Amino acid sequence: MSREDLKAAPSLGFVGLGAIGLPIAANLLKAGFHLKVHTRSRSAETSKQLIGAQSCSTPREAAKGCDILLICVSDDVAVEEVLFGPSGAESSLAKGAIVIDLSTISPSKARYFSVRLAERNVEYIDAPVTGGTEGAKDGTLTIFIGASNASFKKISSVLKAIGSSFYTFESVGKGQEVKALNQILVAGSYVAVAEAIALGETLNLPMNKVLTALQKGAANSWALSNRSQSMLKDEYPLGFKLHLHHKDLVIALEAAEELGIKLPITSKVKELEESLIKQGYKDDDVSVLKRSIKRQVHN
């Protein structure tokens, strides 16, 4: 960012420094933005990746004096606490400020937050992301934006520091609806990869060679390219926590139910995830679904 651009750059607040949020915040710093940060546990605020950022004790402090507040937390309840809780950001957001919510939450809650903040002349934009921890670290996230092209232009310099693909869907909540579709596709692809690997192992196929071959054809997917090796090794380094994906499937299924649409495959994946969560795998990467499929094949 040039010296002239730096002078014109918006001042940013950032709340939520988890597996996705921390590298996003780090990329904003690398891009030259002035950044105030807060996270519930407080520990990540002192990460080496955030040298130069201002640590804040509350969301309210992080939002004070900022042109744009970014939020990247786990669910509806967490976003509401960040915005409207006892130490929430609402009271310190200036008129004309913008809230960019990178979290994955229900579309109805996104619209509710937008209405509440509009009463203070603050614009709320839902902008859920996809691309995993890899995309967050590399700054190549895909972002679904519940706003008009005009609103996107106001925040484009910020989003371009953390992502590479941006899609606007005109109104608040639409970004979350698109993210729900994304998570449905993720659910199906992860389970399909898990089933294929489990069957291939049972057939005693040379699975490393098989996976390389499959990635060259029509069967390739993000899950096959990025998570098949961990499934094969039965090791699940964190990319996206199982219980968070389960939360996203609940959002998608509730939206479908309201419209009278049944999603049998998504419902089955939700059941598999619930079983694994009960077994203590809630904080493992979602690719841990392989363990459920493997037991079914061998029993």
Is 138 exposed, middle or buried (CB count within 10 Å of its CB: 0-12, 13-18, 19+)? middle
Backbone angles phi, psi at 70, to 5 degrees: -105, 140
Distance CA 140, CA 129 (A): 10
- Tell the burial category of 3 from Cβ atoms under 10 Å away from its Cβ (0-12, 13-18, 19+): exposed
Asked if 262 contacts 256 with a C-beta cutoff of 8 angstroms, the reply is: yes
Residue 179 known to be catalytic: yes
User: Strands across the sheet with 68-71, in order?
Assistant: 54-55, 35-38, 12-15, 68-71, 98-101, 123-126
The residue to which tokens 């409207």 are assigned? 84
Burial 262-292 (b: 16+ CB within 10 A, else e): ebeebeebbebbbebbeeebbebbbbbbbbb
Collapsing DSSP states into helix, strand and coil, what is residue 288?
helix
Q: Which two tokens stand for residue 208?
A: 């490393």
DSSP 228-248: HHHHHHT----SSBHHHHHHH
Given 64, 109, 137, 179, the catalytic residue: 179
Instruction: At 224, list the tokens.
Output: 């096959």
SS3 52: coil
Contact 143, 167 (CB under 8 A): yes
Instruction: Tell me the catalytic residues.
Output: 179
